[in-house]
Structure 1
Amino acid sequence: MGVFTCRGARTRGSRGWITPLLTACLVTLTAVTSHALAQDPTRLTIMVSGTAKMIYLPATLAQRLGYFRDEGLEVELLSQPAGVDAESELLTGFAQGVVGFYDHTIDLQAKGKEVRAIVVFSQVPGEAEVVSTRLPTTVESMRELRGRTLGVTGLGASTSFLTRHLMAQQGLPAGDYTMLPVGAEHSFVKALRSGRIDAGMTTDPTVSRLVRNGEARVLLDLRTLEGTRAALGGPYPAACLYLQTEWLEAHPELATKLARAFVRTLRYMHAHNAEDIAARMPAEFRHEHPELYVKSLAAALPTFSTDGRMPDDGPPTVLRVLATSNANARDKHIDLSRTYTNKFVDQVRER
């Protein structure tokens, strides 16, 4: 049972190569996990769509500050580079929650699955489209990426949703470019350096490192509210904690504890400077360029929420973006009220 009790973040391997024997093992492990939770429901597993990504910093910070422990919870954070893989772990029952993009709650409802965001970390994607400096300087907009290979974390990931929408805005259908799933962080950098991709969408600290090293330049910036409104037409609630609705309704007291830990973390972030917060994070997150990590964090801090609430005008923006590349989201009736709730963060505020 020790594999389920590690308090630090770990990485789940790719699911693409799973053999029948390994599949059987995973089913068994999921059953064991479910049994363990039935015995001790305060032991929770949360999938994070990349623990080192700046946009998901509140997950690791909450753990490092001991806020889960203060709520009587033993939380294990597991890292997946793409949100589409993290949501799969949630649906199998391996994990009780996901720290990922809100747009997956809409995408899953279109597929007949019910999940709900209960804490929203930010109103911006925190992503940027970067282009290799090998490309000519005449490439100044997404339109000039026609015929190019564009990197995304995964097909069906939030970066692919955003890329489809941004290219469609320029009148470019999917056949006018190639999307290549390359993961995030080191695998993204390697793909750009090797020339496998010409451009791609990724987050900080990867964006800042590529720009600093002269390997890429920012083509379109979704790391600020101004840039996000200009490109997407409104705020775009992205990083959040979402849970299966069925689990949420069965365990409201645990959801309240999680919400309280995360809201407390968001408040901590707005009460401390980037240097203080960076010092709390794992050394491997910042060891390559610690000063660059702090600079990137300082720029990102104003975009994080202070209370974890979903903005009223956020979900419609996300649905509009998602409908560009998702026929189900476009053609089926989506009830946005079933994709999130402010109930739990409002309880925290009231207390």
Structure 2
Amino acid sequence: MNWPTLLCRLALGLALLAGLATVSKASMAAPLRLMVAGIDKQIYLPAVLAERLGYFAAQGLQVELLSESSGVHAEDQLLTGAVQGVVGFYDHTIALQAKGKFVQAVVQLGQAPGEALLVAAARAEGLRSLSALEGRTLGVTGLGASTQGLTQYLAAQQGLKPAALHFVAVGSGDSFATALQQGRIDAGTTSEPTVTRLLRSGQAQLLADLRTPAATRQLLGGPYPGASLYVSTRWAAGHADELQRVVNALVQALRYIAGHSAGQIADQLPPEYLQGDRAAYVAALQASLPMFTPDGVMPAGGPETVLRVMQATQRGLQGRVIDLERTYTDAFARAAR
């Protein structure tokens, strides 16, 4: 073999190796994108812990957690293909099926909403019951969000129709607290750690509590699964192995929560998640720990409760036949066990 031929083959081989390296780097540079409907909310804690404790990485995954203020906005990101999955409320799978769009919860993180309806302290005198919400301005994370649907249902149990309530989108965390403090809303539904922070500071009073399974059953008449990871059924069909590894990591995070104290869990989080009051954060988490599922499996009777609650207030679901078996699967969570 002459030198020109040898050099040519050597150059070709190097080019092929460089091309393979480029492809490998490109694939590594394209992480799995999950949208969280408020990444600093305690209800979505398993996703944050899976990242912080290295569980995604241990599964050979590069996961990018993004954040949106409400589940409605997160849902939109999934439908446009901007993200591969949403860490949000299970009830979105039902609402989307009613619109002909099929998504499926593949691991259930919460067995209660983890939300509470608060009244501004300055308005508390005239708002001591759910029936007094008529004509009031109520804050929710986003219009059409789970917080709005739950608030409507609680009010409907007191005979109030959706038209009797005025909702405004105020987000969560600091934006919710500011809206309450400034009097832009009379009451509103939000999650921890904001609930405990406002109650402890005396800026709000509790009107309805959906933070634990026991409290939820009392108000909603059954288990109401909240936080989950849901994906489009079409994407899941083509990415079963990758999806299983994501669920593995999230179930491992649920096990970590079940086996550690609220203080130990808080130690794993960025300081900003504690909202400047570690004691309040830990107290809120300790009281809310029962809301997390131990294994990622859908609570028995949960989908039926969610559908009943939604059909009571959402016109788009009234009279519609929903195939609940297509809204979730326990196959991945059970395999993770």
TM-score where L is the length of structure 1: 0.87
Specify the alignment match of 1:165 in structure 2: 153
Structure 1 residues 84 and 36: CA distance shift in structure 2, 3 A: farther
Which of 52, 56, 73 is 1:64 aligned to?
52
Would you say 1:314 and 2:331 are equivalent positions?
no
Specify the alignment match of 2:14 in structure 1: none
Aligned mates of 2:277, 2:153 — CA distance in 1: 33
Specify the alignment match of 1:237 in structure 2: 225
Would you say 1:211 and 2:203 are equivalent positions?
no
Aligned mates of 1:307, 1:197 — CA distance in 2: 38
Specify the alignment match of 1:179 in structure 2: 167
Alpha-carbon shift at residue 66 of structure 1 (Å): 0.3
Specify the alignment match of 1:49 in structure 2: 37
Aligned mates of 2:326, 2:194 — CA distance in 1: 34
Alpha-carbon shift at residue 37 of structure 1 (Å): 12
Alpha-carbon shift at residue 312 of structure 1 (Å): 2.2
Which of 237, 243, 246 is 1:255 aligned to?
243
Specify the alignment match of 1:27 in structure 2: none
Structure 1 residues 36 and 140: CA distance shift in structure 2, 3 A: farther
Structure 1 residues 36 and 143: CA distance shift in structure 2, 3 A: farther
Aligned mates of 1:156, 1:84 — CA distance in 2: 7
Which of 332, 336, 340 is 2:328 aligned to?
340
RMSD: 1.7
Alpha-carbon shift at residue 38 of structure 1 (Å): 9.3
TM-score where L is the length of structure 2: 0.90
Alpha-carbon shift at residue 41 of structure 1 (Å): 9.5
Would you say 1:117 and 2:105 are equivalent positions?
yes
Alpha-carbon shift at residue 228 of structure 1 (Å): 0.4
Aligned mates of 1:323, 1:251 — CA distance in 2: 32
Specify the alignment match of 1:272 in structure 2: 260
Alpha-carbon shift at residue 164 of structure 1 (Å): 1.4
Alpha-carbon shift at residue 325 of structure 1 (Å): 2.6
Gaps of at least 5 residues in structure 1 are 1-34
Aligned mates of 1:205, 1:160 — CA distance in 2: 19
Aligned mates of 1:56, 1:348 — CA distance in 2: 19
Contact preservation (8 Å) 2:124, 2:205: no
Alpha-carbon shift at residue 253 of structure 1 (Å): 0.3
Specify the alignment match of 1:156 in structure 2: 144
Aligned mates of 2:245, 2:58 — CA distance in 1: 9
Specify the alignment match of 1:4 in structure 2: none
Structure 1 residues 147 and 287: CA distance shift in structure 2, 3 A: closer
Aligned mates of 1:74, 1:136 — CA distance in 2: 47
Aligned mates of 2:120, 2:132 — CA distance in 1: 13
Structure 1 residues 287 and 164: CA distance shift in structure 2, 3 A: closer
Deviations 1:303-346 (A, max 9, x none): 21110000120001000111123222222210000000000011
Alpha-carbon shift at residue 138 of structure 1 (Å): 5.1
Aligned mates of 1:41, 1:278 — CA distance in 2: 30
Structure 1 residues 47 and 347: CA distance shift in structure 2, 3 A: same
Deviations 1:91-114 (A, max 9, x none): 111100000000000000001101
Would you say 1:84 and 2:72 are equivalent positions?
yes
- Greater C-alpha Rg: 2
Which of 221, 231, 239 is 2:209 aligned to?
221
Which of 276, 279, 301 is 2:289 aligned to?
301
Aligned mates of 1:181, 1:55 — CA distance in 2: 19
Deviations 1:208-227 (A, max 9, x none): 01111110011000001121
Aligned mates of 2:246, 2:25 — CA distance in 1: 16
Structure 1 residues 124 and 329: CA distance shift in structure 2, 3 A: same
Single out whichever of 137-146 and 262-271 deviates more from structure 2.
137-146
Contact preservation (8 Å) 2:213, 2:290: no
